[in-house]
Structure 1
Amino acid sequence: MTLPGAWRDPDDPDRIPTQAELDAEDLAELARTSQDRALTERYPRRPDDPGPAPVALTRDAMWMWYLSAATALVCLIYGLATLGSEIDRLTARLEPQMADVQTIDAQATAASIAGFWPPALLIGWLLAMAVTYPLLTGIARHHSRNLRSVYAAVCVVVALFVPLIADLLFAYDEVPAVIRVLAWVSFGALLASVVMTFRGGIGRWLPESMRVKPSRVWRQ
């Protein structure tokens, strides 16, 4: 008769484990299963085939971006072509505002500021629009929720600067009104493109968010 007990050789194939050993194995398996389930919930596996990207992402958001880019390009071409005049107009606009400051040379300071910001804003606008395109196309190509967040953040930053550009560079009687209108169209279309990427169908198609929920942190 074979009896369970700790005095028998652990490598003996006929040895019957004690109840304490069986309970310890069950507890270890339960802990391992619970940990695996928690990791799976926190970091869900990406589906092998998410299916085709929603039309709202591949068509609607892209067309809004194309509209924003096209109108921005017209403004950029005009701005770079008339850069000298823009610097002169901005200098004349800044000089009266700095005339009351006795510690600086108002004319030199205004000329310095006006000489830097117009080309910096125009080139920055061009580069920012160039960056947003691969981000937008990458959302569908890489099936990435993170890229959507980055795209939205970059577009919001760009949109914040467009009204500044429209005011500092194009808000003059000498500038055709259509240029100011196109700048605002670019602003609106870019934000519309961002809104399109957050439509419900796209959110369901993208992988689940991997953010840590506070309730899970508290339970730990």
Structure 2
Amino acid sequence: MTERGDGGFDLGDGQRPDPDIPSQAELDAEDMAELAKRSSADRDQTGLYPVRRGDPGPAPIPLVKHAVGCFWAAAVAGAICMVYGFLNLGTIKDLLYTRLLDGVRDDPGNAAPEDQISGISSTFPPVMLVLIAVFLAVEYLLLVNTAKHNSRGVRNVYLSVVVVHMMCIPIGIDLLFAYDGLSVVIVVLGWAQLVLLALSALCTLRKEVNDWLPAPNKVRPGTGFGRR
């Protein structure tokens, strides 16, 4: 048996090896292709899930002081509104009932059914007041854990919750406190809470904060839910 120049072997007496058995050169080529494929997959995996930094350093001032300070100011404003609302809960229910009843008379097509007005005016105010505390508690935990765990994902959830909270504030102000018989100071505090929450959220988007947080995962074509 002698080796040919193409990496195969002659068995002697003019016999050729089985054509189904790959030559050494073909095996080497397959190995190289497999290694190249694995290297490409490893690079893609590294790009999608970058290695987390060991020590990001102390949290930046805009996150731990400015954002937190604005949040606490918003929390104080929200707490005052909540306490005032519970102290005047009976009055707020009566005022809301009257408003809803007027809506039935003035625009029955777009108003709540008259037989449901009593239940709505009794249930809606306390639920909205409790939601103030719920929103603030969730936002505080998210904001603190953003700095504690150096998490971009937690920061993004904080921003989402703040946006939802800010959308609810004008509705709450209008339905709970925008009456002649109630203090206008509470309305001002409600709008102040909205502005302060917006400032807190903007502080978490400062360049110093984005540079300190880990890089976001990259989304490559073909890596979505539709990939087969």
Q: TM-score range by the shorter chain?
A: 0.7 to 0.9
* Paired position in structure 1 for 2:180: 173
Distance 2:75 2:10 in 1: 80
Q: CA deviation at 1:48?
A: 1.1
1:93 aligned counterpart, secondary structure: helix
Displacement of 1:99 in angstroms is 2.8
Identity of aligned residues (%): 34
1:164 is matched with which residue? 171
- What's the TM-score, normalizing by structure 1? 0.86
- For 2:154, the equivalent position in structure 1 comes to 147
Q: Which runs of 5+ in 1 are unaligned?
A: 9-16
| Structure 1 outlier segments of 4+, above 3 Å | 2-8, 213-217
Q: Which of 85, 92, 95 matches 1:89?
A: 95
CA RMSD of aligned residues (A): 2.5
- 2:45 aligned with 1:39, yes or no? yes
Q: TM-score by structure 2 length?
A: 0.83
**1:119-168: CA deviations, max 9, x gaps?**
11111111111111110111111111111111111111111111111111
Higher helix share: 1
Q: Name the larger-Rg structure.
A: 2
Find the partner of 1:122 among 124, 129, 135: 129
Change (3 A) 1:171 1:26: same
In the alignment, structure 2 segments of 5+ residues that lack a partner are 12-22
State the one-letter code of the partner of 2:185.
V
Q: 2:85 aligns with which of 57, 64, 79?
A: 79
The answer to whether the Cα contact below 8 Å between 2:60 and 2:208 also exists between their aligned partners in 1 is yes
Letter in 2 for 1:162: I
Q: Is the 8 A contact 1:132 1:154 kept in 2?
A: yes
- Deviation of 1:203 after TM superposition, in Å, equals 1.1
Preserved contact between residue 47 and residue 218 of structure 2 (Cα < 8 Å): no
SS in 2 for 1:85: helix
Cross-structure match for 1:182? 189
SS of the residue 2:117 aligns to: helix
Kept after mapping to 1: 8 A contact 2:49/2:217: yes
Match of 2:28 in 1: 22
| 8 Å contact kept, 2:74–2:192 | yes
CA separation of 1:135 and 1:149: change in aligned 2, threshold 3 A: same
User: SS of the counterpart of 1:99?
Assistant: helix
- 1:13 matched residue in structure 2: none
Of 70, 73, 77, the residue aligned with 2:76 is 70
Say if 1:105 and 1:26 are closer, same or farther in 2 by CA, change over 3 A: closer
Rounded Cα–Cα distance in structure 1 between residues aligned with 2:202 and 2:191: 17
